[in-house]
Structure 1
Amino acid sequence: MKSLLIINRQAPWSGPGAREVLDIALAGGAFDLPIAMLFLDDGALQLKPQQQSKALQQKDLSANLQALPLFGVESLYVSARSLQERGLPQDSISLPAEVLNDTELRALIERYDNVVTI
């Protein structure tokens, strides 16, 4: 069975992209595909705790994010650089994602059969 890495580069409230990438991951996980998710660039902002979605008249994505392991998407990663550039301390992220440096990110991407960037 082919493995899939989904690279999520979408900020939580920048449009429908953030929700769509989560839907892809949840659907793939429901079919027992080996899926991992990498939060990169503005996608790291999805891991910021206590988001204020109602102020933007958006639906909160945190429940979907918390459901990822329940749907078989247990391998979660985030870029250390992306966290640092956005002022997010590694110990404050809302999911148990493994924090990777740039070298580790390249190795991660090479391990997967298919890579989708959204």
Structure 2
Amino acid sequence: MAKSMLIVTRQAPWAGPSAREALDLALAGGAFDLPLAMLFLDDGVFQLQAGQRPASLEQKDLGANLKALPLFGVDECYACAHSLAARGLAAEALAVPAEPLDAQAIAALFNRFDQVITL
């Protein structure tokens, strides 16, 4: 039986390759039917922000990859409620649905998975 995996992404989409690597890992794992979920923490919640214009920063748009997650079997996306609030983002206004979790729910989420990978 495949081990379950939680991918935690903590970097803004324009802060380096970590955001793209986390999404690539999720898409690859989903393609192989691994049970996995994604958690967006800290500046990682900016990946979920609607209305980004990455071309102005000479970056690639991660939006298409985020929207493809369910097609690859990645149906569980979570965001840290504190990180969203601290950055002025409302869960209802995100480009991709992500369930907001408080610190206690995040701790329970970490315990639910066999492996946790943070990028």
Question: Given the two structures, how large is their TM-score scaled by the length of structure 1?
Answer: 0.97
Separation in 1, partners of 2:6, 2:71: 17
Match of 1:101 in 2: 102
Q: Deviations over 1:34-81 (max 9, x none)?
A: 010000001000010010101101111100000011011111000000
Number of residue equivalences: 118
Shift of 1:83: 0.2
Equivalent positions of 1:38-77 (< 5 A) are 38-77=39-78
Separation in 2, partners of 1:96, 1:18: 17
Q: Return 5+ residue gaps in structure 1 as ranges.
A: none
Question: Given the two structures, how large is their TM-score scaled by the length of structure 2?
Answer: 0.97
Q: Return 5+ residue gaps in structure 2 as ranges.
A: none
Shift of 1:16: 1.0
Q: List structure 1 segments (4+ residues) > 6 angstroms apart after TM superposition.
A: none
Shift of 1:10: 1.2
